[in-house]
Amino acid sequence: MRRTTSSSIALLTPLQSLVLRRWRTQWVCSKSQHLRWQGLATSTRDDVSKAKPYYITTPIFYVNAAPHVGHMYTMILTDVLKRWQELKQRKSILVTGTDEHGMKIQQAAAKAGVPPKEFCDRGAEVFKDLAKRIDISNDVFIRTTDQRHKEAVEYTWQMLQEKGYIYERKHEGWYSVSDETFYPQPQVQLIVDPPSGRKIMVSIETGKEVEWTSERNYHFRLSAFRDKLLAFYASNPSFVVPHSRMDDVVKQVTDSLADLSISRPVERLTWGVRVPSDPTQTIYVWLDALLNYTTAAGYQTSGGWPADVQVVGKDIVRFHCIYWPAFLMALDLPLPKQILTHAHWTLGRQKMAKSTGNTVNPFWALDRFGVDIMRWYLVHEGGISDDADYDNRFIIEKYKKHLQGGLGNLTSRIMRGKGWDVRRAVQQYAHEESEEYPTVSNESHKEGRRMYGRIRALPGQVDAHMRDLHPNRALQALSKAVADMNGYLQQASPWTAVTRLQSIAADTTGNEMHELSKAGQSPEDLEVEIDRTIYLAAETLRLVGLMLQPCIPASAKKLLDMLGVSQERRTWEWCQVGKDDGYGTSLVELGRGEYGVLFPRLTSDF
């Protein structure tokens, strides 16, 4: 660890020097904490271990107000990406949590009439409850009020200061309390506020009101990292997903990259981590908050950093794709591999926002539709590049079309159908592909051969969408595969062949058999036709069920149980046509009517 030089201490006031020396002594004495944090830079480089866990994070959520559907979407999106890696049997770590410092929290707590920490404790519990309700498989829930995080922030400040990246000066500019940031002149504009009719200055990026502020505080030499950032972006063109936002980030850094104000006077902001060397200043909430990702990795998830993917909303791209990489470069820490910046959910075509109250309560949505329906709908319909509009009618419509009428209908038609034996069809046609095509691909019907080709290609297509960080496209591909199979099943009409066989068996005159012979067919031909069709449909259900596990865990489990897929054959290695020859006999009671169906009718359509 570097030590502060006497010359650097001399630049500080006597009080600041005393505080710095006391603080450094306290930190160094906490040897285990120091070593854990220091180890983050040395033990997590790519060449140390090839077995590094897949590390993915949500943003940490601000607790100034209750969560809405947009927060739930971010959590689910991140969880789906993590579970996809686990499907491939890769150890994975998901970090989520809450951002609990800053002006908005201070004001919200004062408005609620409770101390800030108590206010944060309540807010954190609500987000924890939401994560639990939607079955998020997070390994860490980090809070910025955690003592371990506070110590990491203090130590980071010391490192940045010793490296010469922090200096003090007077700062003037347009400040947004809502966004907790200063905006340069080109990023603000004058508008007429529709509700009040008054003229106000707002951020062009977020639309939030800004006010002119002049104060003395500390700054981070962000401008010193312009060339390094641009070189990094050029070497990592897929760093930001989607690419359109990567272009925006490059443009911002190229056009203007001013130094960043990273503290606020205590008389204006008391709720936060104090600058270790200057108790009159509070550390900027975004420097504090962004460090949570490495705090969690350094203290709880050994070997996790750098993050493989960090999932954030498009409104905080600048903080995560410009400020965050620059902080990490200054600290000599590895940068995250990718940042997925998703679009927003709107309500009535207006962005959901806690500040305006234009939100949907996620707990109400879960109570009404259930966990898996909401998980599937938000990922299937949610936007990565473009915003998506939320409406209860859309959920009902999509549920009826894709889940109840699509996947649920196909499952019932195959597993609860009469006149065929799914197990027999699987035994007849399931085996791993070799140089010789499997028998089912020799389907005499042209459309049957086409369907086999589509099913065979499906896992690779879905995996490509997941690698590209577009889970919505992956789910859409699975929905299309189910729709195509339902269409093929209707055309192949195996029930017609079953009826024909039953007629032949019941015919004592031999006329039915004679007519079949005239058509150049035999009862054995009909049985082959039935088994081929049923196998193609059952195999589609098996593959779709395997790949749906990250998105709708409970429903996918039920589907695979209904198909009779054994537990040890539910990983990615089994996601190949013909790989599994052991299913076909249901592990659960299939039931009749509404009882036992995969996706039952909704109790209410409004």
251-273 tens-digit pLDDT: 999 998 999 999 999 998 999 99
User: What's the rounded mean pLDDT across residues 331-353?
Assistant: 92
DSSP assigned state of 104:
H
Q: Please give the share of the chain, as a percent, with pLDDT higher than 90.
A: 66
Q: In the chain, which segments carry CATH 3.40.50.620?
A: 6-377
> What pLDDT does residue 585 have?
96
Please give the average per-residue pLDDT across 95-124, as a whole number. 95
**Which pLDDT tens digit goes with each residue over 399-409?**
999 999 999 99
Cα separation, 470 vs 387, whole angstroms:
14
Topology given in CATH for the domain delimited by 392-574: Isoleucyl-tRNA Synthetase; Domain 1 (1.10.730)
Residues in CB range of 541: below 8 A, 6 or more apart: 407, 410, 411, 414, 559, 563
Mean pLDDT of all residues in 84-113: 95
Band of residue 196 on the pLDDT scale cut at 50, 70, 90: confident
CA dihedral of residues 25, 28, 29, 35 (deg, nearest 10): 170
pLDDT of residue 14: 35
Span of 414-418, 422-426, 457-461 with lowest mean pLDDT: 414-418
Whether 339 and 321 have beta carbons less than 8 Å apart is answered as yes
Per-residue model confidence as pLDDT tens digits over 169-192: 987 778 787 776 777 778 889 888
Show the tokens assigned to 257: 């990259």
Q: What is the per-residue pLDDT for 302?
A: 52
Question: What mean pLDDT do residues 68-81 have?
Answer: 97
Q: What is the band of 26 on the pLDDT scale with cuts at 50, 70, 90?
A: very low
Residues 199/190, Cβ–Cβ less than 8 Å: yes
Give the mean model confidence (pLDDT) for residues 140-169: 95
User: What CA–CA distance (Å, rounded) separates 404 from 229?
Assistant: 48
* 357 pLDDT more than 80: no
3-state secondary structure of 399: helix
Instruction: Give the residue-averaged pLDDT of 71-96.
Output: 97
The percentage of residues in the chain with a pLDDT greater than 70, rounded to a whole number, is: 87
> Can you tell me which residue has the tokens 């749906």?
548
pTM, two decimals, is 0.86
Range(s) within the chain of domains with CATH label 1.10.730.10: 392-574
Structure tokens given for 115:
């101390």
Q: Mean pLDDT across the stretch 195-224? A: 85
Task: State residue 433's pLDDT score.
Answer: 59
Question: Residue 35 has what pLDDT?
Answer: 39
Query: Looking at the domain that runs over 6-377, which CATH code has it been given?
Result: 3.40.50.620
Phi first, then psi, for residue 238 (nearest 5°) are -100, 15
pLDDT at 129 over 90: yes
Q: Please state the rounded mean pLDDT for residues 482-490.
A: 96
Q: How many angstroms from the chain centroid is the CA of residue 36?
A: 28
Average pLDDT of the chain is: 86
Over range 30-38, report the average pLDDT.
43
Residue among 63, 133, 61 nearest 97 (CA)? 61
Assign 3-state DSSP to the chain and report helix, strand, coil percentages, each to 5.
55, 15, 35
Task: Give yes or no for residue 451 having a pLDDT over 70.
Answer: yes
Task: Kindly give, in sequence order, each residue whose CB lies less than 8 Å from that of residue 3, ignoring residues fewer than 6 positions away.
Answer: 162
Query: Under a CB-based contact definition with an 8 Å cutoff, are residues 359 and 369 in contact?
Result: no
Helical pair 523-548 and 446-467, crossing angle rounded to 10 deg: 10
**pLDDT band, residue 38 (cuts 50/70/90):** very low
pLDDT tens-place string over residues 523-580: 888 888 899 999 999 999 999 999 999 999 999 999 999 999 999 999 999 999 999 9
Q: Is the CB of residue 454 less than 8 Å from the CB of residue 544?
A: no
Q: What is the pLDDT of residues 270-328, one digit of tens each?
A: 999 999 999 999 999 999 999 999 988 864 445 689 999 999 999 999 999 999 999 99
pLDDT over threshold 90, residue 602: no
Structure tokens at 56: 């993915």
**Residue with structure tokens 């910046």?**
341
- What pLDDT does 432 receive? 61
pLDDT at 354 (0 to 100): 67
> 215 in helix, strand or coil?
strand
| pLDDT for 5 beyond 90 | no
Look at residue 256 in the predicted model and tell me its pLDDT.
85
Distance linking the first and last C-alpha atoms of the chain: 62
Q: Which residue has the tokens 């299309």?
A: 480
